[in-house]
Structure 1
Amino acid sequence: MKVNDSNNSIGGSTCKITDEICLPDSNVPRVVIIGGGFSGLALVEKLKHKEVQVVLFDKNNFHQFQPLFYQVATSALEPDSIVFPFRKQINGYKNVLFRLAEVEEIQPSSNIIITNKGRVHFDYLVLATGTTTNFFGMENVESHSLGMKDIRDSLNIRHMMLQNLEEAAITCDDKERDALTNFVIVGGGPAGVEMAGALAEFCKYILPKDYPEYPASIMNIYLIEAIDELLSTMSDKASSKTLKYLKDLDVKVLFNESVSDYDGSKVTTKSGKTILAKNLIWTAGVKGQFPKGIDEKHVVRGNRLKTNFFLMVEGYENIFAIGDIAANISQHTPKGHPQVAQVAIQQGKWLGDSLLKIINNEGVKPFEYKNKGSLATVGKRKAVADLGKFKFAGYFAWLLWSIVHLLSISGFRNRLMVGFNWAVSYFTYEKSNRLIIRNFKKETNNEQIIPKTVNKEKIKHTTQ
């Protein structure tokens, strides 16, 4: 099959000046991948040097290592140590191309995608677009809080935290200081738990040195969870150990609570509790994101795309979905597979092998997920691990978590940087990246929102 998008010569390939994105001529099938997360990159690695033309689209020019976003947010790591340029990743892959563009629409009937830079024809399309933060329709919460689904979110959290701590050192208003130094994290999954643990260690070891103006006890950290346990996808042992570790770090965990409103200064829960805080980090839910053009009847709960056992989007023969966006629903997985990196990587690798068989008219076996276990850390030297029948916690779980994450980071330089930072932190608890590079301003509805002064008369602070 020949794909030809061009007529002009550019760098040895032909190209035409139209509304189409310039791509080299090819006599092999074109596989277009939208999204360079864990699943998209795993697929690229499987298809490199094969008899296909691979075109990777992403709105960023780098891959992000999401499991360590919380460490960037709490000044433990710099952002460039957990991001890796796509072009460096695919250097030497002669059949793989990267294009920086945002895909806006899919036209399945004509096998075309439309981006903000032009259009591209595909023979096979793979959606690996991942998820975004789900605020469940609460506009006030979305306007005033921060999610943690992008490296920019992590930097915004860092700058918000440092700016508010500096502001707290200036103000003489006790309630204003409370609001500026209180942190609320919503969601008791791995992201919320790890963020709470990192913030608690910042409060315990960094705050007294950097801000001698006031005691570390002024910084309160609340973790709000809608059900009665943390890390609900892990074992009861992992949940109970995590709760103990957080309590040891003075994190205030509120179970069976959910946020109903947030105005930028006061958190209100459904039970009527209020918490004075100008720092709210939302990790309570995600929803799928993908370009328009897919029939809505194939979209299921969580805005995910329903796939068959071969990861084909229901209703289409040459469009696939992998990673967090894919919902492979069966008797064993009624809600689809977990939205974690392990699933995404396995799906990307499986689809790479399977696409080549489909192209060559060979038989393909259904995708089967092999659960290799779950890990979560709660501060330094404390973690929980569920590895099949083996469930343990403490130092060795933390050591395993560190090794697995270090080896999973793209690029030798990045691994070296992260490893060095972790080694320094291991012995000193030092976080050397406490820099406010730019002022944080929350933007919404074309306006920039700056934290407002707390009205003493209207806000009641309760912690029960």
Structure 2
Amino acid sequence: MLQINELSLNIPDTTKPRVVVIGGGFGGVNLIKNLPSKEFQVVLFDRQNYHGFWPLLYQVATAGLEADAIAEPLRKMFDEDYEDFHFRQVKVTGINPESKTISTLVGDLSYDYLVIATGTKSNYFGNDQIKEYSFPLKQIPDALNLRSHLLQSFEQANMIVNPQVRQSLLNIVIVGGGPTGVELAGSLAEMRRHVLPNDYPGMDFSKMNIYLVEGLDRVLPPMSPESSAKTLKYLQDVDIHVKLNTLVESYDGKTVTFKGGEQIQTQTLIWAAGVSGAQVKGLPPEASERGRYLVNPYNQITGYQDIFAIGDIAAMKTEKWPKGHPGVAQPAIQQGKHLAKNLRRLHRKEALEPFEYFDKGSLAIIGRNKAVADLPKNLHLSGFSAWVAWLFVHIYYLIGFRNKLVVLANWVYKFFTYENGTRLIIRPFLRKEDIAGQEFVKKQADLD
């Protein structure tokens, strides 16, 4: 096995300005695509070697799509057209503004311009127990773990004798009534109605309970009251138990307890309740607020001329957006493209231009023909028209022609057949304390 001291970043020297980008999400990818290799050397760092289309992550978790349908290798995205582009799959451990270097597990690298586009991570608000036992949904491994767990739960419920344990396997609690929670709940409701009864003809899936828990007084808080009200009706129409003004106090892997004392027996709690910025060590506390880096209209982090932040990690406060832009794809995409232009201006010693966000609206889908959309000019859509808009937008912004084709084909097939992908348990998911499950898997393997 290789030792860390046997590795190095192996980035070639250059006479061009070096732009180091941390994070291969929407912001980082769109920045790099608009930076000419003739003017800059670009180095991208990410802990994974692919760009993921996270708005469709919930469909991977519910077996509607395979993981490779929403991901594109970063090296494939920047091929021969980007001659001086260099990708390294390694975690950045620190920023050293004084020496203008970044540190990684395998060495340091100097930069002329540094762009932080690390996005967000799940925020458990200091509750370590929930962090240990709940299922986040931020990365593809999270979605695959959740999918395996859900399918295993249905398999076990089909064999279990104890009715209380069976019910705990069929109770699913989703915490967070934002787009992720709403769309996941809707997808699970469609599975319950159209898919699972065919897979498990002996089970009564009317007893499968899906709970959507939101701490505020409405679902989809970032969207308009009209869209929130319509979404609540859609959720109730497909028999999802929506609990508003409800906060989770604890979860031990078997019982979720809400503030106020109510409890639900469940072996599946999905955490979609909040995020915090995925910051990198090295910048002073005054450079950030609530986990996001404070940036000026040019995306420069407070106190620095050569360090930038874009996307969810950046808090650009304006009169219209006093808390910063919403944590969705569009601000990251637009900031990435705009910053690329400003870096070219910096290189040419031209004046920078401030960023102006064009809000293209927000969308959320609950199920077939059930969606909501808040569009510019105070236009609100719901039902079939919003559903079509959601499908078009998500296909359009997927990276890679193959991914667009695969996802579209899956959706068309599902529309006519109600079939929900290939429900394969490729890698079983077991919690450490699930001794019975581990013994069962081991005995199954021993029979091979």
Contact 1:264 1:451 in 2 (8 A): no
Contact 1:186 1:284 in 2 (8 A): yes
TM-score by length of 2: 0.94
Deviations 1:78-103 (A, max 9, x none): 00110100010001211221111110
Contact 1:264 1:452 in 2 (8 A): no
Deviations 1:169-193 (A, max 9, x none): 1111011001111100000100000
Q: Secondary structure at the match of 2:59?
A: helix
- Aligned partners of 1:65, 1:310: CA distance in 2, in Å? 26
Matched, 1:261 2:213: no
Provide the residue aligned with 1:35 in structure 2: 23
Q: Which portions of structure 1, spanning 4 or more consecutive aligned residues, are displaced by more than 6 angstroms? A: none
Please tell me the residue identity of whatever aligns with 1:241.
K
Provide the residue aligned with 2:154 in structure 1: 165
Provide the residue aligned with 1:89 in structure 2: 77
- Aligned partners of 1:330, 1:206: CA distance in 2, in Å? 46
- Aligned partners of 1:435, 1:21: CA distance in 2, in Å? 38
Deviation at 1:20, TM superposition (A): 5.3
Matched, 1:290 2:279: yes
Q: Secondary structure at the match of 1:316?
A: coil
Please tell me the residue identity of whatever aligns with 1:355.
L
- Aligned partners of 2:77, 2:195: CA distance in 1, in Å? 36
Contact 1:265 1:451 in 2 (8 A): no
Provide the residue aligned with 2:441 in structure 1: none
Provide the residue aligned with 2:321 in structure 1: 333
Matched, 1:319 2:307: yes
Matched, 1:70 2:54: no
Deviations 1:406-438 (A, max 9, x none): 111111111111111000001111013200001
- Aligned partners of 1:407, 1:184: CA distance in 2, in Å? 32
Matched, 1:104 2:89: no
- Aligned partners of 1:53, 1:293: CA distance in 2, in Å? 23
Deviation at 1:330, TM superposition (A): 3.2
State the identity %: 48
Aligned residues: 431
Please tell me the residue identity of whatever aligns with 1:300.
E
Contact 1:48 1:95 in 2 (8 A): no
Deviation at 1:50, TM superposition (A): 4.2
- Aligned partners of 1:452, 1:382: CA distance in 2, in Å? 40
Deviations 1:11-67 (A, max 9, x none): xxxxxx998521223211000000000000010111033401111111101001100
Provide the residue aligned with 1:185 in structure 2: 174
Provide the residue aligned with 1:456 in structure 2: none
Q: 1:24 aligns with which of 6, 9, 12?
A: 12
- Aligned partners of 2:277, 2:36: CA distance in 1, in Å? 27
Q: Secondary structure at the match of 1:378?
A: strand
Provide the residue aligned with 2:114 in structure 1: 125
Identify unmatched segments of 5+ residues in structure 1. 1-16, 443-447, 454-464
Matched, 1:351 2:339: yes
Q: 1:327 to 1:204 in 2, by over 3 A?
A: same
- Aligned partners of 1:18, 1:24: CA distance in 2, in Å? 18
1:422-441 → structure 2 map (5 Å cutoff): 422-441=411-430
Provide the residue aligned with 2:440 in structure 1: none
Provide the residue aligned with 2:288 in structure 1: 299
RMSD of aligned alpha carbons: 1.5
Q: 1:18 to 1:266 in 2, by over 3 A?
A: closer
Provide the residue aligned with 2:42 in structure 1: 54
Deviation at 1:351, TM superposition (A): 0.3
Please tell me the residue identity of whatever aligns with 1:60.
Q
Identify unmatched segments of 5+ residues in structure 2. 438-448
1:384-403 → structure 2 map (5 Å cutoff): 384-388=372-376, 389-403=378-392
Please tell me the residue identity of whatever aligns with 1:74.
T
Contact 1:182 1:277 in 2 (8 A): yes
Please tell me the residue identity of whatever aligns with 1:418.
V
Provide the residue aligned with 2:104 in structure 1: 115
Deviations 1:145-171 (A, max 9, x none): 011000010011100100111111111
Contact 1:226 1:257 in 2 (8 A): yes
Provide the residue aligned with 1:373 in structure 2: 361
Q: 1:418 aligns with which of 407, 424, 433?
A: 407
- Aligned partners of 1:451, 1:321: CA distance in 2, in Å? 45
Provide the residue aligned with 2:124 in structure 1: 135
Please tell me the residue identity of whatever aligns with 2:139.
D
Please tell me the residue identity of whatever aligns with 2:418.
Y
Provide the residue aligned with 1:196 in structure 2: 185
Q: Secondary structure at the match of 2:232?
A: helix
Q: Secondary structure at the match of 1:406?
A: helix
Q: Secondary structure at the match of 2:136?
A: coil
Q: Secondary structure at the match of 2:297?
A: coil
Please tell me the residue identity of whatever aligns with 1:101.
V
Q: Secondary structure at the match of 2:98?
A: helix
Contact 1:184 1:224 in 2 (8 A): yes
Q: 1:377 to 1:55 in 2, by over 3 A?
A: same
Q: 1:200 to 1:18 in 2, by over 3 A?
A: closer
- Aligned partners of 1:199, 1:452: CA distance in 2, in Å? 26
